Amino acid sequence: MKRICFVVLIIGILAAGIPSFAADVLYEKFEAGIPGTWTIVDNRSGSCGVWQSNDAGGRGNLTGGSGDFAIVDSDYEGCADTELITPSFDVPLNAHFTFNTDYNYLTDMAEVDITTDGGGTWSNLLHWEVDKRGPLKVGLDFSAYFDETVQIRFINVADQDRWWQVDNVRLEFPDADGDGIEDSADNCPNNVNDDQADVDGDGFGDVCNSSAAVVGCADCNISNVTSPGLPGGAPLNFRVNETVSFTATGVNNTADISITWASLPSSPYFYKITNGTWIRIYPANNSTGIRNVFLNGNKLRYIIIDNSSADEDSTVGTIQDPIAAGYMTSGIHVGDSGSSIHCFIATAAYGNSTAPDVKILREFRDRFLLTNSVGKALVDFYYIHSPAVADFITKHSKLKIIIRLSLLPIVGMSRIALTIGLIPTLAFILLFIFSLNSLVRVRRKLRNNQYSQNTRQG
């Protein structure tokens, strides 16, 4: 009855950080029983229990869900060898599969499998031969199945053991505004626009072209405040949250500008667009025509120089100043269009993002940092502060060699961690440090003893 599992994907309890999603491809609560679009398979032809929703054993919903649920109860039925198979569905980008469960184990087996060929072949996602008591929410990473048509099956094989309950079977994808369009494909991800209307063809939905930003100037006059359509050439992975353009007049060399935005993402980026060129001014100001950039809550303040590279208007005393506020999507921060800034310091040191050592560091980031809240915080901090360092490295060829050499221990540790796991690698490093320290102490003691002997003989 026991089956061998060779691939176990991510199993997560809700409290451990399964992300929040808004749109559902599949969501079954079993409130009206097991739907007719689902398939129940009885592998023992009526001699044992099968998946059902009537809870004949009176267990109650122990999954963390509410109301009815699906259950196979071998303790009540005497035995079980049954499958519960979902209807077919397409997997969108960044999809995440979750379900609530209570698995009361004795000597039986529970599995979750996936098929991409209508049930011809199945791949195992999860295999349990141990208690997984509820309330419990399990999450499985479906990134490998993007754009595939799949089905999921829940298998329980048992001889008068206990039970397995499943509820709230759900495939979700990121949809911040709830308009049914995945965020990375949505031309205005924070505002509902299921029609994706974009009259000016700037790549941003029309509903994103209305700005509620309030523009002020401490030493000039502000007029013509609009939310413009923006040109192409935006940095890769930068998504616009809000735009504003204005005219400043009565400028005496510089203008002290403040912009209070209606809303900002948690880690905002700001770009100055001058004659089609995007230059980041926060975090890390890369514009020579802007200085003293400061963000306090939703208020951005900076000094802009008249007729500088940041001014679209060539008239003395007048400044035209389009600004875009937004955020970086998860993944690699590439930097300003047309600049030499790279996503990682390592990329700047090696000269390209396909170098083998850079790939190792990227894989280490994806496997060990982006999978937990502490690691994500470190990556966010790195994305904010590394571009300026990477840009400096790119401009100094000799420094690239020094950085590559200094990265070798980190690359080596990352390579080992990707091979044997992070915890064994850290244990090995600690053991190495301890052994090296002990060796130094022994050598020092022997040297002191030899010195004492030489002193007595002298």
- Considering all CA atoms of the chain, what is the largest pairwise distance in Å, rounded to the nearest integer? 99
User: What averages of pLDDT result for each successive group of 10 residues across the chain (458 residues)?
Assistant: 32 35 76 94 89 91 94 89 93 84 87 94 91 89 85 89 90 74 74 68 63 86 79 73 88 94 85 87 89 91 92 89 78 38 62 75 75 70 68 75 85 84 77 73 70 62
Q: Give the structural domain span for 109.
A: 14-173
Question: 370 and 395, same structural domain?
Answer: yes
The sign one gets for the Cα dihedral 184, 185, 187, 189 is negative
106 in any annotated domain:
yes
Q: Are 326 and 237 contacting, i.e. CB atoms less than 8 angstroms apart?
A: no
Question: 364 and 219, same structural domain?
Answer: no
**What digits encode the pLDDT tens for the residues 159-172?**
867 899 999 999 88
271 in any annotated domain:
yes
Using the 3D structure, point to which of 301, 328, 355 is the last residue of a domain.
328
Question: 159 and 62, same structural domain?
Answer: yes
Question: 379 and 293, same structural domain?
Answer: no
* Rounded Cα distance, 92 and 21, in Å: 13
144 in any annotated domain:
yes
Here the CATH number for the domain that contains residue 105 is: 2.60.120.200
- If you write DSSP's letter for every residue of 298-338 in order, what string do you get? TEEEEEEETTSTT-S--STTEEE--EEEEEEPSS----STT
Using the 3D structure, point to which of 265, 298, 328 is the last residue of a domain.
328
439 in any annotated domain:
no
Question: 323 and 353, same structural domain?
Answer: no
| Phi (first) and psi of residue 15, to 5 degrees | -65, -15
Question: 61 and 19, same structural domain?
Answer: yes
Using the 3D structure, point to which of 299, 328, 357 is the last residue of a domain.
328
* Rounded Cα distance, 143 and 367, in Å: 13
Question: 381 and 234, same structural domain?
Answer: no
pLDDT score at 14: 32
Question: 214 and 117, same structural domain?
Answer: no
283 in any annotated domain:
yes
- Chain Cα centroid distance, residue 206: 27
pLDDT score at 339: 35
Partners of 52 in beta bridges: 71
453 in any annotated domain:
no
Alpha helices in 155-213 (DSSP H): none
Question: 69 and 164, same structural domain?
Answer: yes
Question: 323 and 354, same structural domain?
Answer: no
* Whole-Å CA distances, 176 to 64, 146, 169, 188, 335: 25, 19, 21, 10, 24
**What digits encode the pLDDT tens for the residues 359-409?**
788 778 777 776 677 776 676 677 666 666 776 776 777 888 888 888 888
How many domains would you assign to the chain?
3
Question: 350 and 324, same structural domain?
Answer: no
Question: 165 and 100, same structural domain?
Answer: yes
Mean pLDDT of the chain: 79
- The answer, as to whether pTM is greater than 0.75, is no
259 in any annotated domain:
yes
335 in any annotated domain:
no
